[in-house]
Amino acid sequence: MARNLHVNGRVHEVEASDDTPLLWVLRDHLGLTGTKYGCGVMACGACTVLVDGEPVRTCVMPVSGFTEAQSITTIEGLPGADEDPVQKAWTEHSVAQCGYCQSGMIMAAHALLAKQPEPSDADVEQAMTNICRCGTYQLVRVAIRQAAKEMRDA
Amino acid sequence: MREPTADFSVDRRRFLKGCAVLSFALVLRPGRTAAAAVTNAAFSPNAVLRIDPDGAIRIVMPHAEMGQGVYTGLAQILADELDADWSHVVAEHLDSLDPAFNHREWGVISTGASTSVSNQWQHLREVGATARAMLVEAAAQQWGVAADGLTTANSFVIDPARDRRLSYAELTATAAQLQPPTEVRLKTPDQFRLIGTDVPRLDARAKATGTATFGMDFTLPDMLQASIAHAPVFGATLKSFDASQAEVMPGVRKVVRIPSGVAVVADTFWQAKTAKDALELTWDDGAFADVSSATLWEEYATLAGTDGPVFERRGALAPAAAEVNLEGEFRLPFLAHAPMEPLNATARWGGAGLEIWSGTQFQGVDAGTLSAKLEIPVEQVRIHTLWLGGSFGRRAAPFSDFVLEAAQIAKASGLPNPIKLVWQREDDVQGGFYRPMALHRYRIGLDAARRPVNWEHRVVCASISKGTPFEAAFMHEGFDTLSIEGLRHTNYDVPNVEFVLHTTEHAVPVLWLRGEADSHTAPAVEGIMNRLAREAEQDPFAFRRSLLRETDMSKRIKGVLDALEAGAGWANSPPEGVYRGMAVHPSFGSVVGYVVELRKSDKRLDFHRVVAAVDCGRVVNPASVRAQIYSSVAFALSMAIGQKIEIANGRAVQSNFHDYTVARLSHVPDVEVHLVDNGLDHPTGVGEPGVPPFLPALAEAVHAATGQDVNAWPMTLDGYAFLAGGS
Ligand code: FES
Ligand code: FES
């Protein structure tokens, strides 16, 4: 059925069955392919977006559970590598290898830094449970520290 | 895949012949390469390179970027010789089967065995230097001066005598008219400006903004999507299926049967997947349905206890010379690659032939397979390479499975639309093509001085290359080198050696996985060396130095041992409560060693520090090498903390990331990397050689901390928890 979703600051009308996970609505209906499919069972975090600022794994969340009142932010809705401290740090440190997990990583990092401007190592470990099969974790830690600092200094 | 034997490049003809489907490699078929896309004023001295009148320096990538950083590294090599302004460099995906893009040693378009940088090193330097010489000549003509007084820097030709310069952009039209010189002079290493520097990755921005289009993200206006049901039991065949329910579900366009399963084609992925789940399939499970990991290990253990074909013999086993005999074994399970991006390919079948969009490591091989299986001339196959969301060897598929399936679905559907086949994670984790399970058993005789005199070793492992187009290339005297690399030709000098390989057969297809055979031979060989050093009550560094035979590789191993020992401060005892182990292993032309330090508190082990030393020859991008070592440690650590594929009733037990363990951020230590210069003037492998030695170094640290031997991977520790986060 048709419904309205508020994605990246715009209201989109989408026509999808109720059980379609938000992930596939974003990818196949709205063409927002920055959000990735990695497992489909909420185990990897590749599909992470922000819903009202909270990190949500969208691969198992039926679109029927979302309303126009919720603000959904995908990687495409972030300010970009020149403006966004997280994306900037990711770019400067060449964090990505294959890059497939990184949209989800970046969204999770955003959610963390919004809550904890000065996260401890343990905070980072707890918040960043996304799988990176390329093992970029060491540089993810470096980039989060840099982004956190830049956000605090701003 | 690894470069199989020393005579491989000479014997390429045999490789191509063995690979009957590859005859197209001899057909010159330029597609829309840099060269073919030349506009009037662009300068494209080679299919790989095009300099546009706007100054953009476009380099078409002969190898696939799956995370290992090759796009950046390859561009650095060419751009350095070209004296290009790095900010003008653009890496482009390959979408041609022009043999100009062949692997320089394998003679077919392909990526693997950590060879991308090493095989292109000389060639891309020559391409860059040739283009540079032609641009200089073009400037000389424009100015009416001799070329030898001119220099280049940052995409300019400079005339120092008259203090003037012309940009490469201004010279493309003239340069395009020139004949390339027959000989060019390459830079000496002191002249390198980009090679050896931490140039940021060319793909960093696209991958931080979600704009990199992976195969999974590819779309066309009229594209449909497909989901496929595969046999759950290895080797099962489809008896019958009922699609009546699936066919009437929303969005469904077609249900097609292809040799490997039944696929549903629909408007969207979710529709295709939902309808696929509604298919009723009846399988003939076949004989493998009775097989489990337990029965396989039983079979492997029985084989390990029997004599078998000897692939390496030195001296003659001298039982009388041994005072003591040490026996032991190592078991390593099947492993799925589980690249982060599930396998997928888009295929369009129609008028002009077959068009494929996919992240594949094997464009050349795939094209041949598609041509043979779909019975069309290879000239009618077009493959567009996209970003690969990881691979670890899985996207170098000898039978081109996922690409072929997409093509077969497109053809069988009778639809003109492009169709994107998307595998679910379960298709990948349960679909085989695993790193083979392996059992190593050894018996080592020590003399009175606790020196090894006899080394009997039996490997039990299935063959990767048997039955593939690569069989002839990888089989050496009847042995699949992909089962024993890393053990054969060991640099450790034990006078009497007898190495046996039992090659098993089972319905589970097996494949090279990052680290290849070394991923099981190094844990065995280095595990043995650590045990022998203990038995001899010697320091593991000193013990290894005393046992290395005189080879060129041993010299490099010793260089790595020296750097590792110094870098880790091995001479000092570790702090209270910290236990350590080390290992070193040559593979993929490189040498990597690790010191792993573990902290023990109560009954818990955590990382204290990890130090790596790496000799990968001439380093093109140090940051990229460090990143690959971090990556290798995480990849190997996954194998330690729970990663395995088990078999029950003929099927894979694990199915997705909830039960197929992959190390997460909380598990993975920071790694301190020391790059070792042993004087090699060319690059060697980087993506894989960091994987094999990590496990034995970790095992030895665990032994030091707990007294327990690690004989099987993933590790199971009695009474200890490893890593705070658990697995
Ligand atoms: S795709 Fe959603 S958590 Fe993996
Ligand atoms: S960068 Fe490849 S999975 Fe994370």
pLDDT digits (tens, 9 = 90+) for B250-274: 999 999 999 999 999 999 999 999 9
The domain locations on chain B are: 31-209, 224-286+343-422, 434-722
C-alpha to C-alpha distance for B465 and B483, rounded to whole angstroms = 9
Q: Minimal CA–CA distance to A110: which of A43, A38, A51, A65?
A: A51
Chain B residues with CB-CB distance to A147 below 8 A: none
Nearest CA to CA, how far is A69 from chain B (Å)? 25
Q: Do A38 and B341 touch (CB under 8 A)?
A: yes
* Whether pLDDT at B601 is above 80: yes
* Whether pLDDT at B22 is above 50: no
Mapping DSSP to helix (H, G, I), strand (E, B) and coil, where does residue B649 land?
coil
Chain B residues with CB-CB distance to A137 below 8 A: 630, 634, 663-665, 668
**Over the range B696-717, which residues count as b (16 or more CB within 10 Å of their CB) and which as e?**
bbbbbbbbbbbeeebbbbbbee
| Predicted local distance difference test score (pLDDT) of residue B352 | 82
- Enclosing H/E stretch for B371: helix B363-374
Architecture of domain B31-209: 2-Layer Sandwich (3.30)
Nearest CA to CA, how far is B693 from chain A (Å)? 17
Q: Is B668 on the interface with A (CB under 8 A)?
A: yes
| Predicted local distance difference test score (pLDDT) of residue B216 | 98
Q: Is B721 on the interface with A (CB under 8 A)?
A: no
| pTM listed for this prediction | 0.95
User: Nearest residue of B to residue A60 by CA position?
Assistant: B270
pLDDT tens, position by position, A31-42: 999 999 999 999
* Whether pLDDT at B413 is above 50: yes
ipTM of the complex: 0.98
* Nearest CB to A133; choose among B216, B338, B422: B338
Which residues does ligand 2 sit against, CB inside 6 Å?
Answer: A 96-102, 132-134, 136; B 67, 340, 390
C-alpha to C-alpha distance for B517 and B510, rounded to whole angstroms = 12
Q: Is A91 on the interface with B (CB under 8 A)?
A: yes
The CA-atom distances, in angstroms, between B324 and each of B90, B329, B370, B540 are: 62, 17, 57, 20
Q: Do A130 and B665 touch (CB under 8 A)?
A: yes
Q: Is A36 on the interface with B (CB under 8 A)?
A: yes
Q: Do A131 and B342 touch (CB under 8 A)?
A: no
Could you give phi then psi for residue B494, rounded to 5 degrees?
-105, 130
C-alpha to C-alpha distance for B378 and B403, rounded to whole angstroms = 15
Q: Is A37 in the pocket of ligand 1 (CB under 6 A)?
A: yes
Mapping DSSP to helix (H, G, I), strand (E, B) and coil, where does residue B292 land?
coil
Q: Minimal CA–CA distance to B516: which of B467, B461, B473?
A: B461
Q: Is B666 on the interface with A (CB under 8 A)?
A: yes
* Whether pLDDT at B15 is above 50: no
Chain A residues with CB-CB distance to B340 below 8 A: 36, 38, 44, 46, 98, 100-101, 131-134
Q: Do A94 and B200 touch (CB under 8 A)?
A: yes
Location of structure tokens 């010793």: B558
Q: Which residues contact A86 (CB under 8 A, 6 or more apart)?
A: A78, A106, A109, A110, A113, A143, A144, A147
Structure tokens at B222: 């009229």
The CA-atom distances, in angstroms, between B390 and each of A133, B5, B81, B393 are: 7, 27, 30, 9
Domains contained in chain A, CATH given: 2-77 (3.10.20.30), 85-153 (1.10.150.120)
DSSP string across A58-105: GGG-BGGG--TTSEEE-GGGS--TTT-HHHHHHHHTT--SS-TTHHHH
Architecture of domain B434-722: 2-Layer Sandwich (3.30)
For the CA of B338, the nearest ligand: 2
Same fold, B224-286+343-422 and B434-722: yes
DSSP string across B676-725: ---S-SSB---SSTTSTTHHHHHHHHHHHHH-----BSS---SS-EESTT
Banded pLDDT at B40 (limits 50, 70, 90): low
- Enclosing H/E stretch for B355: strand B353-358
Contact B382, B367 (CB under 8 A): no
Judging by DSSP bridges, how do beta strands B604-615 and B721-722 pair with one another? parallel
Q: What topology does CATH give the domain B224-286+343-422?
A: Aldehyde Oxidoreductase; domain 4 (3.30.365)
pLDDT tens, position by position, B99-153: 999 999 999 999 999 999 999 999 999 999 999 999 999 999 999 999 999 999 9
Ligand 1 atom showing the smallest separation from residue A131 Cα? 4
Mapping DSSP to helix (H, G, I), strand (E, B) and coil, where does residue B607 land?
strand
| Predicted local distance difference test score (pLDDT) of residue A88 | 98
Average pLDDT over residues B521-550: 98
C-alpha to C-alpha distance for B501 and B309, rounded to whole angstroms = 6
Distance A135 CA to ligand 2 centre (A): 7
Q: Is A141 on the interface with B (CB under 8 A)?
A: yes
Q: Minimal CA–CA distance to A45: which of B660, B340, B627?
A: B340
